Structure 1
Amino acid sequence: MSELIFHMVKEAPTPVAPFSHAVEVDGWVMITGQMPTFPDDPEAPLPEGIEAQTRRVMDNLVIVLNGLGLGLDRVVNSRVYITEFERDYALMNQVYKSYFPEGKLPARTCVGVTGLACQALVEIDLMVRKN
């Protein structure tokens, strides 16, 4: 196993807890779950509703990926956590799917949870193959 590389992406949102934006090893990159916070104003209120929050989370993931020279086309797996599963699942899926190339959706797990940091409605993390 090669050395672990811990990445902090300057343009990405300020972490809400002690973590790296991504960790890389042996051609794999694990992207930490992103919250619907704003990179330029971490104290701003979260966007209203699951669609806006999912867009913000996906945009934050793209910022981290781009900071590492990667894109969503390299995503192998994702994990989605939502607090209002029955209410928000379908709307979250519509936004989520729109970010990926046609026919290239990653494997995924989606879990309903009782709470997330920042009182967010959604958090998403990624597993990416670099090469």
Structure 2
Amino acid sequence: MPDFFLFDKGPRPVAPFSHAVESDGWVILTGQMPTDPAAPDAPLPEGITAQTEQVLANLALILGELGLGLDHIVQCRAYLTEFERDYEAFNQAYLAHFEPARLPARTTVGVTALAVGALVEIDCVARRPDL
């Protein structure tokens, strides 16, 4: 049976979901928004770079609650509301968080809107080592 996780330290959910679901060593993280878990009602960071940094920090926080890190991610899906404008800056911010030889598989999609007016959302799949 899968285990469902909603962490007190994690970002406040903007919809009905778990932060993560784990089954047989596979960990699926729900899409993270650029909200600050310590100040969920604060304005979002300005610009795609700052929002990407916050989203990745939120993913790292959820993974950390499970004893994992960004290096355990095997696949990401990223959603951008301003794809053509933000794609290059998003890639630069994203790349800073992964080893060049260990980049997760990734799909990036342009969308018309995201919850809370975000510019970016990222979900991912991670795998526990040695399983």
Fold match, TM over 0.5? yes
Unpaired runs of 5+ residues, structure 2, are: none
Query: Could you tell me which of 17, 30, 33 is aligned with 1:32?
Result: 30
Residue 90 (structure 1) aligns with:
88
Post-superposition CA distance 1:42-61 (Å, at most 9, x none): 11000000000000000000
Post-superposition CA distance 1:18-37 (Å, at most 9, x none): 10000001110000000000
For normalisation by structure 1, the TM-score amounts to 0.96
Distance 1:29 1:47 in 2: 27
Distance 2:119 2:103 in 1: 22
Distance 1:106 1:25 in 2: 19
Residue 107 (structure 1) aligns with:
105
Corresponding pairs, count: 129
Distance 1:11 1:96 in 2: 23
Percent identity at matched positions?
A: 59
Q: Is 1:23 aligned to residue 35 of structure 2?
A: no
Post-superposition CA distance 1:77-99 (Å, at most 9, x none): 00000000000000000000101
Distance 2:50 2:23 in 1: 32
Query: Could you tell me which of 41, 50, 53 is aligned with 2:51?
Result: 53
For normalisation by structure 2, the TM-score amounts to 0.96
Residue 122 (structure 2) aligns with:
124
- Look up the equivalent residue of 1:121 and give its one-letter code: L
Unpaired runs of 5+ residues, structure 1, are: none
Distance 1:79 1:16 in 2: 18
